[in-house]
Amino acid sequence: MRDDVTRQVHPVLLCGGSGTRLWPVSRASYPKQFARLVGEESLFQAAARRLSGPGFAPPVAITGEPFRFIVGEQLAEAGVRPGAIIIEPAGRNTAPAVLAAALHVARADPQAVMLVAPSDHLIPDAEAFRAAVARGGAAAREGAIVTFGIRPDRPETGYGYLELGRDADAGARGVLPLSGFVEKPDAARAAEMVASGRYLWNAGIFMFTAERIIAAFEEHAPEIVAPVRAAVEGARADLDFLRLAAEPWGEVPDISIDYAVMEKARDLAVVPYDGAWSDLGGWEAIWRHSSPDAEGVAAEGPVTALDCRDVLLRSEEEGPELVGIGLEGIVAVAMPDAVLVAAKDRAQEVKEAVEALKEKGARQATAFARDFRPWGWFETLALGDRFQVKRIVVKPGGKLSLQSHVHRAEHWIVVSGTARVTVGEEVKLVTENESIYVPLGAVHRLENPGKLPMVLIEVQTGAYLGEDDIVRYEDVYARE
């Protein structure tokens, strides 16, 4: 039994990024790893399921402060119990995140084999990927730093590449020697590399023992080790999370693990993976993996396509009805608060559009239409001078903080479910089609004591309606 435990693979899921290439579905407040882009579960949930079960220890997820409750809730929905959810005080790229996870895992077992994986990749064949992981495990236990490379099916300028060792059998499926890393090439160079058969796409997935990767950091990036170690040693428990110490973490440089360690380390090996894989780095990739029909039309949500070819039409949950007529080579993505229309071959430029939105102060550049909280979520339905209308959904057992407002009053109307409402000294149940008024300055709280989500409409009136007009007196989620 003890041997089975020591041979387990310890997954580390990196889930702190906030990409913009899939705007408007992916935004800084709710990035793509948590969205349901392909299939019925999020990319993060699919990654957690893929790396769980026999042979795997409970995963370690490392994420940022804004996403901690999303991570916990999505793991619970997926039926995956985490080994730890580590909170980074600030994003510092992949190298510090990996080292922090390694130091955490090494406390229990320095020889533990870690599998570090981004949580926003699409890998449809979980069994085939687990088989590739099993092939890399023996080499990692013997001290190798193992990478995973995807056999390319086309020249691709959006990925980095892995060059196989000179004596490697390019067609083999086992663990092969790795010569080095190649930066994203231009189109001509990418075509040459793919034609040679000696290059793989760099998936950014790594496997090693905790002890081995810590030693590699000490050798190749010693400036990172001391502050990260101090942040891990000073970490404190916070509800179900492990919060790294903020002060030493502030001294950590922002650097990727490729630059910090991988491009300098020895004893590198690679496991080729032949199955389908994508980092879903743009809307063209989403189109490719959305099962387009014979005319190249990929449609998702309330969409109607008439005489269209080679298009992605997507209207998100409760978004508008999207109709395309006579379109070709177009991406159109509709959200309740934003719409993207782009030529499919220029969809990568969405990052520039996000920057333009930021410059003009548009909330949609970074903020998601729904604001997710540990108790549920809310969205603004209408906003005007001195009033705001919100829909609020509180999950079963969810409880908002005991709070008051300096500048606004609120009127709540329950649409479905039952709310337990505290206003001053009074506590009462408010059911469907009933309402209650919360005067300006009143101490109040909203809870869902039922077994189904509770939905209400909130009408705010006052001189200032910002989310920072909250005075918290008590919060079961320990939010600062």
Write down the pLDDT at residue 4. 52
Write down the pLDDT at residue 6. 56
Which has the closest alpha carbon to 102: 270, 257, 272? 257
Per the omega criterion (within 30 degrees of 0), is the bond before 24 cis?
yes
Rg of the chain, C-alpha, whole Å: 25
What residue segments make up the domains of the chain, in order of their start?
2-273, 283-359, 374-474
CATH number of 2-273: 3.90.550.10
Write down the pLDDT at residue 405. 96
φ/ψ region of 53 (left if φ > 0, alpha if ψ in -120 to 50, else beta) reads left
Write down the pLDDT at residue 458. 97
Q: What is the dihedral of CA 91, 93, 95, 99, to 10 degrees?
A: 20
Write down the pLDDT at residue 123. 96
Please tell me the distance from the alpha carbon of residue 447 to that of residue 72, in angstroms, as a whole number: 20
Classify burial at 437, counting beta carbons within 10 Å of its beta carbon; exposed 0-12, middle 13-18, buried 19 or more: exposed
Write down the pLDDT at residue 267. 80
Write down the pLDDT at residue 39. 86
Please tell me the distance from the alpha carbon of residue 311 to that of residue 476, in angstroms, as a whole number: 46
Q: Spell out the SS3 assignment of 330-355.
A: EEEEECCCCEEEEEHHHHHHHHHHHH
Write down the pLDDT at residue 1. 35
Token pair of 25, please?
């579905």
Residue 23's contacts (CB-CB under 8 Å, 6 or more residues apart) are 338, 340, 350, 351, 353, 354, 365
- Are residues 255 and 223 in contact, defined by beta-carbon separation less than 8 angstroms? no
- Are residues 230 and 245 in contact, defined by beta-carbon separation less than 8 angstroms? yes
Please tell me the distance from the alpha carbon of residue 50 to that of residue 126, in angstroms, as a whole number: 5
Q: Residue 178: what residue type?
A: L
Sort strands 376-384 and 444-447 into parallel, antiparallel or unpaired: unpaired
Please tell me the distance from the alpha carbon of residue 304 to that of residue 325, in angstroms, as a whole number: 9
CB atoms within 10 A of CB 157: 12
Beta bridge partners of 341: 332
Write down the pLDDT at residue 396. 96
CATH number of 374-474: 2.60.120.10
Which has the closest alpha carbon to 21: 460, 407, 355, 472? 355
Spans in the chain with pLDDT lower than 50: 1-3
3 state DSSP class of 373: strand
Backbone angles phi, psi at 433, to 5 degrees: 70, 10
